[in-house]
Each structure stands twice: as structure tokens, then as C-alpha cells.
Amino acid sequence: MKKSLAVYPGSFDPITNGHLDIIERGLSVFDEVVIAILVNQEKTPLFTIEERVELVREAYAGNPRVRVDTFSGLLVDYAVQAGASVIVRGLRAISDFEFEFQMALMNRRLNPRIETVFMMPAEGYSYVSSRLVKEVFTLGGSVKDLVPPVVERRLREKESLLPPVAPRSGRRRVR
């Protein structure tokens, strides 16, 4: 029997536990899930495309039903090339809906044979996004339990996120 394959596309800058939740749900419905990371020339990501691939690979080490890939151009074209007829997207809240609905309908117009399936993460992840994870981390907050441990480690290693070191002054300040 032909295996069912779904593409789970996104920026994944970086992958969060909310993404992992959606991937698990995808795996409960489809035989295989391809995590497709967009190579977006316009945005300036925190993690390079290579780093993002590595982070997803590490988070999913050893699971033969999960594949990691990158894509550029139209998502529906990538889905066809990957052999998938389904795109999985997560819906956290109503605020996600408008954009996701637009994308799903545009993708349907581009290729009616590719179906978009929305999945809802556990309520505990409804407020988790890559953007907020980066913001909280940069401002010194804890992102434990919001991202896989490997991501937390790599965030700590990112020099651009560390607070600037105060320049050493020759004279001591007298208060």
C-alpha cells in the first residue's frame, strides 16, 4: 500500500515544542511527515538554514517517519516534488486563522490536488511562537519547556543574543 506523506512547512527559526506537538499529531494521521524549512531570502533569520535543519534533525534523531528538507519557491510545487498530497499547518488561535485561510486557498488555487489540513496543538502551546521564544530568551526569560533542549542550548551559544559586555574603563567610577 502507498504510504501517506504530509509536508509540514515553515520557517522553524527555531523549532518549538508547539511545532513538535503538531508533528506528533501529523504522525498519528500520516505515515510520514516531511518538515520543509523555507529558504527565505527576504527575512533575516536568527539561525541559518543549515542550523535550522540540524536543530530539527537533532530534535527528531532516529525517527524514520520524519524527514527534514529545505525548499524555496512555491510550497505546492515542493509538495508535488516530495510526493505529498497534503500540507499540514498548525492553528493556535483565531488570530492565526485569517492568514492560514488565505494561504490554504491560494495554495488550492495553485494546485487543487494538494489539500491543506489544519491541526491544533495542545492548549499549553497556543501562545508559543518562534518569534516570542527569541524575544523572551533575548530579554533574559526562561524558554525551558517551550523548545527542545537542543534549541535551548543553541540559543545560549548564539553570541548575537548575549547582552553586550560593558566596555572596560581605565578609571573606576567614584560614586
Which parts of this chain interact with ligand PNS (CB under 6 A)?
9-11, 38, 74-75, 103, 106-107
Count of other CB atoms within 10 angstroms of residue 168: 5
Q: Is 28 a known active-site residue?
A: no
Q: Which is nearer to ligand PNS, 134 or 171 (CB)?
A: 134
CB–CB of 155/137 below 8 Å? yes
Q: Which of 25, 52, 89, 130 is catalytic?
A: 130
Name which of 9, 6, 4, 5 is nearest 71 in CA terms.
Answer: 9
DSSP 168: P
DSSP 133: H
Residue 162 C-beta: closest distance to ligand PNS, Å: 25
Q: Which is nearer to ligand PNS, 17 or 107 (CB)?
A: 107
Name which of 93, 121, 119, 89 is nearest 105 in CA terms.
Answer: 89
Residue 145 C-beta: closest distance to ligand PNS, Å: 21
Residue 10 C-beta: closest distance to ligand PNS, Å: 3
Q: Which of 2, 43, 109, 173 is catalytic?
A: 43
Q: Is 57 a known active-site residue?
A: no
